[in-house]
Structure 1
Amino acid sequence: MKNYKNPRIAAIQAAPILFDIEESLEKAATLTKEAANMGADIVVFPESYLPAYPRGMNFGAIIGSRTESGRKDFTRYVENSVIVPSKETEFLGKIAKENDVYLIMGITERDNEWSDTTLYCTVLFFAPDGTLLGKHRKLKPTASERLIWGEGDGSTMPVFDTPFGKIGALICWENYMPLARANMYAKGVHIYLAPTADARESWQSTLRHIAMEGRCFVIGVNQYVTKSMYPDNLACYSELDTAPEEMSKGGSAIVHPLGEYIVEPCWGKEEILLTELDLDQITNAKFDFDPVGHYARNDVFQLQVNEKKQKVRGEL
């Protein structure tokens, strides 16, 4: 690990201005600047920070039926989602450059290649010079998330080599996919980002297991969201009637390669979690277990990953 600098990393536990892309971008700029002023080299935002993770909503959909009000809210969600590239990604690149940080941003991405209404749950990676390095699209939306998000493919599963180590991300319950994790380890990830919408205690076991299994630093970052943050002019606002006021209590945390917390989970508030990572601890942790090195059995197991971009529109 001698060729890498020890990074100061900030996990941003915060909510956007829900369903408002312009205001949410401004909040992201403010939070990134605050993290940079605290000394951060890498700033990580939660899953679908832009324009919102629409927790508690079903957009008026039940099996066999959709409502007009649900269609209106979905249209609003689409119109506030992020095309890549766009003026919104240019703005995010400017935030990264102005603050001299690697900026990792969770978005709902609006496809601009085949359809202008298909959405993806995506993580964007920006370099300190403002360059968009690339993106990762969630491979498998979970349960009712499939109402709003399509499936990514193997062409967007990057791990980026930076002066602060190799950085990659899997989103929320992708982290329960063993072969997706194995692909991250095979690419040599040092700083494993796990943006999520899961605020349950059981998620903490997942973060700690990944750190132990991959012998890498794990950054878990979630939103803190209350019902009062939702715009009350949503057409389907009544869907939230039975929701608790605290809809996501957070639980962002930073975990050592031996599975212990460096920064304990943060609950019940918006917060910037900041710490410096000692990358030599990865080497120390791999002394007795290296999942793709001396503990691997390549004579027994082989990982095959299709990283080709999949064709659409019925093409073969």
Structure 2
Amino acid sequence: MKVNVAVIQDAPVLFDLKKSLTKIHQLAKAASIGNPDILIFPEAFIPGYPRGLSFGTSVGSRSDEGRELWLKYAENSLMIPSAETNILGEIAKEFDTYLIIGVIEKSESGTLYCSVLYFDKQGKLLGKHRKLKPTGTERVIWGEGDGSDLTTYKTLFGKIGGLICWENYMPLPRAYLYESGIDIYIAPTADQRDSWQATMKHIACEGRCFVIGCNQYVTKEDYPKDLLDELSGQDHVMSKGGSVIVDPFGNTVEGPLWDKSGILHAELDMNLVIKSKLDFDVTGHYARPDVFELKKKN
């Protein structure tokens, strides 16, 4: 079976939920030229990955200005379910595609989570995954997921799922997805380093699955003007991208895309998943369950 995928590398309208939803529709329409079965957006695309911002925090103190920025960020984050998630579902249905998108999820208690949403071609929200461990100062603004939503989703062309950014450096969640039979592994990220490309290739070889890395391309011009003073010491390009599609042998299918916005299109030959397991199957003949055992607590 052949599967068409489209990977969006772009920036949202930072800190603006409504305008970001409009832009998502525009980008989905542009990607629809390739008739994708799967359409993927980066980590924290709603309302944006706030790279370079401190939210007025330091060890032992928080500023009033930082709390105001936090308020704006929270107000433009996404409740699940909500009218906004319905709009995302309508986009998936309109373009007849599985839509996978990174969002900042606002819980009823007020905590924010870095999450990924999965919609099917009928616009149904299949599920979400909350990032298990925010990295570094992300922990100031995002809570930790509890792992209960770590799963894969069965489609006509195989099982899809994935992890967010540096979750992909956590061996046990990866192993759990392999045990779940993942065929197309999706890795929305904010990591723009060259070393991330090696991670994507390693996971593809290890899991014998297609791996899709999806990042934003963001410049200072994409930020609200009132935040530019805090970014004065940053490079003009805040995130240079690096979105990439890798096959189960670790070969690059498309990308990496650097230093510009764009859309990666690729046709995935799902027979490669089976062919790749002739000599290595991480949950089969290479697993050694007589020596190792993996258990998920919830």
What TM-score bracket applies, with the shorter chain setting the length? over 0.9
Distance of 1:230 and 1:159 partners within structure 2: 34
For 1:90, give the aligned amino acid: N
Paired position in structure 1 for 2:210 = 217
What's the C-alpha RMSD, in Å, of the aligned pairs? 0.8
For 2:278, give the aligned amino acid: F
Distance of 1:74 and 1:44 partners within structure 2: 27
Paired position in structure 2 for 1:146 = 139
SS of match in other structure, 1:233: helix
Gaps of 5+ in 1: 308-316
One of 282, 291, 297 as aligned partner of 1:291: 282
Paired position in structure 1 for 2:162 = 169
Paired position in structure 1 for 2:118 = 125
TM-score, L = length of structure 1: 0.93
Deviation of 1:158 after TM superposition, in Å, equals: 1.7
Superposition map of 1:175-194 within 5 A: 175-194=168-187
For 1:148, give the aligned amino acid: I
Superposition map of 1:266-277 within 5 A: 266-277=257-268
The answer to whether the aligner puts 1:137 opposite 2:130 as a matched pair is yes
For 2:159, give the aligned amino acid: K
Aligned residues of 2:56 and 2:62 also touching (Cα < 8 A): yes
Deviation of 1:169 after TM superposition, in Å, equals: 1.4
Aligned residues of 2:99 and 2:120 also touching (Cα < 8 A): yes
Deviation of 1:228 after TM superposition, in Å, equals: 1.1
Aligned residues of 1:134 and 1:158 also touching (Cα < 8 A): no
Paired position in structure 1 for 2:99 = 103
Distance of 2:231 and 2:144 partners within structure 1: 27
Deviation track 1:88-142 (CA, whole Å, cap 9, x = no partner) reads 1000000001111000010000012xx0x20000000001101000001100000
**Equivalences, count:** 298
Distance of 1:294 and 1:180 partners within structure 2: 20
Identity %: 56
For 2:118, give the aligned amino acid: F
Deviation of 1:39 after TM superposition, in Å, equals: 1.6
SS of match in other structure, 1:218: strand
For 2:17, give the aligned amino acid: I
Distance of 2:20 and 2:81 partners within structure 1: 17
SS of match in other structure, 1:120: strand
Superposition map of 1:78-117 within 5 A: 78-112=74-108, 115=109, 117=110
Deviation track 1:219-263 (CA, whole Å, cap 9, x = no partner) reads 0000000011100124xx422110110010000000010111001
Distance of 1:293 and 1:241 partners within structure 2: 52
TM-score, L = length of structure 2: 0.99
